[in-house]
Amino acid sequence: MYTVRVREPIPEDWPLMVGDVLTNLRAALDHSVYGHAESRNQLTDKQRKALCFPIIEKVETWDNRSPGRRSPSRGCSTPKCSA
C-alpha cells in the first residue's frame, strides 16, 4: 500500500486535466479494439456499436449475459478471432 502526502494544495484545474487524460486514454483503447476488429471481420452495425475495450477489476465480475461478449479468460470477443 502507498501513502501520498500533499504538501501544497492541488491546483483547481488538475482534476479536470486528470479526467481529460483518463477519458482520452480510454478512447485510445476503444479505438485500438475497433481498428483491430474492423480489420479482421466485416462487422454489423450492432457489433460496431458494442465494441469497446473491456476494463474490469476481477475476471469473476465479468458480465457474460451480454450477447457477443466473452470472459477475458476465454479469449477474444470478436467473431473469427482466436486468442
Q: How far apart are CA 8 and CA 79, in angstroms?
A: 51
Q: What is the DSSP letter of 33?
A: H
Note the pLDDT of residue 78: 44
Note the pLDDT of residue 79: 45
pTM for this predicted structure: 0.54
Give the pLDDT band (50/70/90) at residue 6: confident
By the 8 A CB rule, do 72 and 62 touch?
A: yes
Note the pLDDT of residue 56: 74
Note the pLDDT of residue 16: 95
Summarize pLDDT for 14-68 with one digit per residue, the tens. 999 999 999 999 999 988 888 888 888 888 888 888 888 877 777 776 665 455 5
Note the pLDDT of residue 83: 38
Q: Which of 58, 59, 78 is nearest to 68 (CA)?
A: 78
